[in-house]
């Protein structure tokens, strides 16, 4: 019911590539971070969250990434295993690099911020040699998250993964996930995001993120159709552009435009919305939902996660999403 | 009753120089770090702990250091103020550097370890220009912690502080506090520790730490007398060498050797022992205790702190130390 | 007579992009460098040599690159102007970076080596913002040299130039010019060379250079046809693969294979052979020579240059090449 | 006749420590560097020049430093040997670092400038482990040049050399030789120059150089007596402060002030004046000349060198200096 072709004979449904980190969420809610006293730790990082999301939704999920050679690396690997995620693509880094940390601050549902510990972060140490062609060709799809493009050697590892994916008919999902603090300049960002997007089948991002990618080559473009068309000229089949509260739109290389459903909920925080959306959308597309239905699944999953206190730990099951859709009011 | 000459007309008793960090201690005790779920945050870092210790003991205490321009920097500065520490020497760093973190693991009282986040740590960003000659000459003494020598520009800032201290008769306490992970090589360590120790009045360290300092120039020396004599030839008046469970010895440039008292206690952890010892010893020396009495105060303070769950937060008052000494069994 | 389509309405024929350096050639010939006493300086660097070559052949030639803000930068810019090369794309770097130097050693015609000064080389400081879309679209073609991909921000600047070239129908010549000493790893090399080659119309390199590009994705391939076909699947029209003394072969996306002529000469040195070849080949293709004739022009130019003492300074005119061909013995 | 005590039983008179480089001097005189066509290479770098100077004056001279693992490293080592300089302290660097280069420009005798190639310069790669205590204690004196303090690990190596020299009664000559381009900040410069000067017996510099050293701790001082007294409080015996055309003054810890002689000559260039001065002064002091006589020897040597085209290659013999003094007019 959608026109993405997934190879049916693969062992895995999805391999997420890139960042594995730790979120440290204050236990005292709606309080400035300088007054927070105790923190609970969760596995975090956009592709980690998406991998947990798809695994909870019963997709056979694997991961390619580096973890630190310490207790936090052990914790993350154990957590993935407990969530039925294949960890054969996980490499234990020996360089002394540390797990990236995100201390979250939720002063109110609309005032969320982060202190990020990303200096010499272990996830960016993944090397081209860590990428196994054999492993990638076992999967129907891979998920690339933009943060992995921010620095070498992770950047080159991503391009190697993209090369193997294209060579073996593995569908590429590209979640832009742009975090300005990990990049040296906007020009650098635009260059590498473009090179990766050219090799992707499904590209997901906000309007602002697409503007960032295109600011060098098409500084004047702010039009969704022009944006989508640009990527269709390379390899894209679906381009999903999010417009915040106005909702999301999917554009296809067959000329369709699909508006996504929005579920009105009262959030506790905004963190995790994008990752839960992406995970459930990918689930839908791999299960041959039509695009509108896959987007509804994504929106429902996001609505569930933002009403809870965590990201990865709150990823819903298929039953939970279906229940939510069955009972929720749509906008 | 001791032969260190403190200038009596100074506004402050002690200015600690260097590291301000955050400790994240697991709330679940005696458990591997990978299984720890929640953490409580405390102000940490050796000179921070010593400053809190001396302030609790009613010394007028100031601090020279850099904090991050974020909620953790605010938290640390607020905590110092709440503990009556003068923060006029604290500079808010604008480079984007982050607060150093120490995640502590206490598997058992004798199996303690750390995951340190020290990449681009804000405390090492302190610059020579941050050191105010006017501020230093307001104090009877400064406390230098070896970690601040580990990298530029903090290293140069320490030497400027030492220069101002010597120029104005400010007594220099040097706590070696050697942490191998912050140094590039043993040769580098030996060179800068030596240059700082040459300008110090009281030097405190373990036998192993003194060996590290001397390994280039006197690789064969393991004798306390030879070590102490070497530093007396520069500016040292007292050299305190700790021999773990065998206790500590103070050597003076007047030829005395004083063995410190040991209080047998059942510890919860080892963290904080050295800092609480140094803080109470400094208190004693500034209050003109004789050396044995000052060492007893240090040992009592350490014994109190290691039976608690934290470092800075557990620093005792004079009354608590006196009560402890009055009731404790000595070895 | 060849199937590359050049836009006829452009002001410039070719813009070379990348390295401008200085060669320092010993005046004493056939002597080890440690015994060389005096040196003569020449403008060097592969794209600089090619630009001089095409300008001598009456192509309207421009250059995009950075020069140092010192006397050597002035010398290079002046030399390009004297050689009728448009310097509007030259940026004077203000970062303190220095001109790359190459000290050449010619112990015998077959024993040539180099001492390269490439640390913080100014040519690699060119930034994406230095690349003018207006300037690139004034030209029929651009010449990219692989060295410019070796480091940021030059690497990103090249991709921006490639993007503008493709957008405006500017033909892209890609001279692989692989210099191992400027790269961090073979994987990095393979990734960025591939990304650039995918966007190029004419790719020129040795068999070994193509192997380097392909070693990650096709480690087993050593076959010219497979190599050429790979790039035809992207944008390539002509792939030229050099096999040293066995000569060069051109492959076209129309299925042709053309063997290049070889002129037997007695060389003084090997330096400059590739650049003079590329310059004259480009001249031929832009002037709509058939491929065999363009390759003959390239081979003749190379044969002239390697019998002289310098590179850029020895680039021949059309008349000199025609005379050489008329009188030379071919193999 | 001077009060420096040199150990008489040493194999070597002087070991110079630090920079070995190459000067490339244009053969066309009084011309801007951008118009210079051919260059002659010489061994250069301040301590290299001084070592050649003292060896020409028949002092038994050694060198401690690193050279590149290429033809330029071989050239430098050979040149030292040809000049009877002991090269047992020379280490061939294996890190790929390159010989520092100085391209000299002499537009007129009073308009001299340099293009320096100092990025990743091999001389700054010397490590503490390269410094042999056995070697240093074979010498009467060592010569430290300030440039070696500019970066790690060379900086630490110098402090190790100073430690060994003090331990074994080896006289320390410290030539400030301040080159702003190799330092990160003025504060860093002041800190390390001070730490080195504190351990030196004879300190030689211009008034401006001493101001640079003292700008943090005594920003107001511009008085020679105050400057000299500051260093006498550490280990200095003689402080020589140069005031350009007004001549040089030597101050001693015994309270003497000696004005140096100036020989009026018509210079070709200014390069090499300081190094030839230092070399002949050291010769004089080691040979127990009185200070005025040693300064006259220094001034004569400088006057000879600045009327020639090179530095190291023009260092005079004792006979040449004596002849010059015998015939020269003094100011």
The confidence score (pLDDT) of residue D304 equals 96
pLDDT at D172 over 70: yes
Among partner residues C128, C194, C216, which is closest to A216 by beta-carbon distance? C128
Contact B62, B322 (CB under 8 A): no
Local structure of B146: helix, strand or coil: helix
Which residue in C156, C197, C212 has the most chain A C-beta atoms within 10 A of its own C-beta, making it the best mutation to test that interface?
C156
The confidence score (pLDDT) of residue B331 equals 62
- Residue D310 CB partners (closer than 8 Å, separation 6+): D23, D25, D40, D42, D272
CB within 8 Å: C119 and D115 = no
Q: Give the tokens for residue C77.
A: 């810019």
Judge whether D234 lies within some domain: yes
Q: Give the tokens for residue D275.
A: 């190094």
Number of domains in chain A: 1
**Mean pLDDT along residues A68-74:** 98
Contact C220, C208 (CB under 8 A): no
Mean pLDDT across chain D, nearest whole number?
95
Q: Which residue has better confidence, A329 or A159?
A: A159
Distance of alpha carbon A29 from its chain centroid, rounded? 26
Per-residue pLDDT tens for D99-140?
Answer: 999 999 999 888 889 999 999 999 999 999 999 999 999 999
Give the integer Cα–Cα distance in Å for A36 and A295.
36
Nearest residue on chain A to C131, judged by CA atoms? Answer: A216
Judge whether C263 lies within some domain: yes
- pLDDT band of residue A37 (cuts 50, 70, 90) is very high
HSE-CB of A202 using CA atoms within 13 angstroms: 28
The confidence score (pLDDT) of residue B330 equals 66
Cis peptide before C153 (omega within 30 of 0): yes
Nearest-neighbour CA in chain D from B83: distance (Å): 32
Sites in chain C below the pLDDT cut of 50: none
φ/ψ of B170, rounded to 5, equals -90, 125
pLDDT at A216 over 90: no
Q: How many other CB atoms are found less than 10 A from the CB of residue A184?
A: 12
- DSSP β-ladder status, A61-67 and A12-17: parallel
Judge whether B322 lies within some domain: yes
Judge whether D310 lies within some domain: yes
Give the integer Cα–Cα distance in Å for D92 and A271.
55
Which residue in C153, C189, C216, C226 has the most chain A C-beta atoms within 10 A of its own C-beta, making it the best mutation to test that interface?
C216
SS (H, E, C) chain A: CCCCCCCCCCCEEEEEECCCEEEEEECCCCCCHHHCCEEEEEEECHHHHHHHHHHHCCCCEEEEEEECCCHHHHHHHHHHHHCCCEEEEEEECCCCCECCEEEEEEEECCEEEEEEECCCEHHHHCCHHHCCHHHHCCEEEEEEEHHHHCCCCHHHHHHHHHHHHHHCCCEEEEECCCCHHHCCCHHHHHHHHHHHHCCCCEEEEEHHHHHHHHCCCCCCCCCHHHHHHHHHCCCCCEEEEECHHHCEEEEECCCCEEECCCCCCCCCCCCCHHHHHHHHHHHHHHCCCCHHHHHHHHHHHHHHHCCCCCCHHHCCCHHHHHHHHHHCCCC
Complex confidence, ipTM: 0.94
Q: Which residues pair with C224 in a beta bridge?
A: none
Chains A+C touching (3+ CB pairs under 8 Å):
yes
Judge whether C133 lies within some domain: yes
Contact A294, A281 (CB under 8 A): yes
Among partner residues B38, B115, B117, which is closest to A39 by beta-carbon distance? B38
The confidence score (pLDDT) of residue A331 equals 62
Contact C305, C272 (CB under 8 A): yes
Q: Which residue has better confidence, D97 or C218?
A: D97
Give the integer Cα–Cα distance in Å for C125 and C302.
30
Chains B+C touching (3+ CB pairs under 8 Å):
no
CATH code for position C297: 3.40.1190.20
Full residue range of the structural domain in which residue B154 is found: 12-20+46-95+123-330
φ/ψ of A46, rounded to 5, equals -55, -55
Judge whether A310 lies within some domain: yes
Q: Give the tokens for residue B279.
A: 């803080």
The confidence score (pLDDT) of residue A148 equals 97
- DSSP β-ladder status, C171-175 and C139-145: parallel
Which residue reads 């973890």 in tokens?
A67
Give the integer Cα–Cα distance in Å for C152 and C175.
19
Local structure of B16: helix, strand or coil: strand
Edge-to-edge, what's the strand order for the sheet holding D101-108? Answer: C111-117, C101-108, C21-26, C38-44, D38-44, D21-26, D101-108, D111-117
Give the integer Cα–Cα distance in Å for D28 and D106.
9
Among partner residues B34, B37, B119, which is closest to A71 by beta-carbon distance? B34
CB within 8 Å: D188 and B156 = yes
Contact A203, A176 (CB under 8 A): yes
Nearest-neighbour CA in chain C from D207: distance (Å): 28
Contacts of C188 in chain A (CB under 8 A): 128, 152-153, 156
Packed helices B291-305 and B273-286: angle between N→C axes, nearest 10 degrees:
150
Per-residue pLDDT tens for D182-195?
Answer: 898 889 999 999 99
Judge whether D261 lies within some domain: yes
CB within 8 Å: D37 and C41 = yes
Give the integer Cα–Cα distance in Å for C271 and C307.
10
Whole-prediction pTM value?
A: 0.95
The confidence score (pLDDT) of residue D309 equals 83
Give the integer Cα–Cα distance in Å for C279 and B213.
62
Judge whether C36 lies within some domain: no
- DSSP β-ladder status, B61-67 and B86-92: parallel
List residues in chain C touching A: CB distance below 8 A.
127-129, 152-153, 156, 159-160, 163-164, 167, 184-185, 187-188, 190-192, 194-195, 216-217
Give the integer Cα–Cα distance in Å for B251 and B230.
12
Q: Give the tokens for residue B23.
A: 């400790």
List residues in chain B touching D: CB distance below 8 A.
127-129, 152-153, 156, 159-160, 163-164, 167, 184-185, 187-188, 190-192, 194-195, 216-217
CB within 8 Å: C39 and D39 = yes
pLDDT tens for chain B, 331 residues long, are 799 999 999 999 999 999 999 999 999 988 999 999 999 999 999 999 999 999 999 999 999 999 999 999 999 999 999 999 999 999 999 999 999 999 999 998 888 899 999 999 999 999 999 999 999 999 999 999 999 999 999 999 999 999 999 999 999 999 999 998 889 888 999 999 999 999 999 999 999 999 999 887 777 777 999 999 999 999 999 999 999 888 899 999 999 999 999 998 999 888 899 999 999 999 999 999 999 999 999 999 999 999 998 899 999 999 999 999 999 876 6
Q: How many other CB atoms are found less than 10 A from the CB of residue B72?
A: 24
In degrees, rounded to 5, the angle at the alpha carbon of residue B11 between the alpha carbons of residues B10 and B17 is 90
């Amino acid at each position: 019911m959608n026109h993405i072709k997934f190879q049916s004979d693969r062992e895995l449904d999805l391999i997420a590539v890139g960042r594995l980190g730790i979120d440290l969420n204050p236990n005292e809610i709606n309080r400035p971070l300088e007054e927070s006293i105790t923190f609970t730790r969760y596995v975090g990082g956009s592709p980690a969250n998406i991998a947990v999301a798809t695994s909870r939704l019963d997709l056979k999920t694997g991961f390619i990434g580096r973890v630190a050679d310490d207790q936090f690396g052990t914790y993350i690997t154990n957590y993935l295993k407990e969530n039925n995620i294949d960890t054969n693509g996980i490499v234990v880094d020996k360089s002394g690099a540390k797990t990236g940390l995100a201390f979250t601050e939720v002063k109110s549902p609309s005032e969320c911020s982060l202190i990020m510990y990303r200096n010499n972060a272990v996830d960016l140490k993944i090397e081209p040699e860590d990428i196994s062609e054999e492993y990638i060709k076992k999967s129907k799809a891979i998920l690339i998250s933009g943060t992995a493009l921010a620095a070498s050697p992770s950047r080159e590892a991503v391009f190697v993964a993209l090369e193997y994916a294209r060579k073996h008919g593995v569908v590429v999902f590209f979640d832009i996930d742009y975090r300005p603090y990990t990049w040296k300049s906007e020009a650098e960002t635009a260059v590498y995001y473009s090179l990766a997007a050219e090799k992707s089948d499904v590209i997901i991002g906000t309007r602002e993120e697409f503007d960032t990618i295109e600011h060098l080559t098409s500084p004047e473009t702010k039009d969704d159709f022009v944006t989508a068309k640009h990527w269709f000229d390379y390899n894209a089949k679906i381009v999903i552009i999010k417009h915040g509260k106005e909702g999301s739109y999917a554009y296809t290389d067959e000329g369709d435009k699909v508006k996504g459903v929005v579920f009105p909920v009262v959030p506790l925080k905004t963190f995790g919305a994008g990752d839960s959306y992406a995970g459930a959308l990918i689930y839908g597309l791999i299960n041959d939902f039509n695009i509108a239905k896959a987007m509804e699944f994504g929106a429902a999953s996001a609505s569930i996660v933002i009403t809870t206190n965590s990201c990865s730990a709150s990823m819903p099951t298929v039953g939970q999403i279906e229940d939510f859709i069955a009972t929720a009011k749509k906008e």
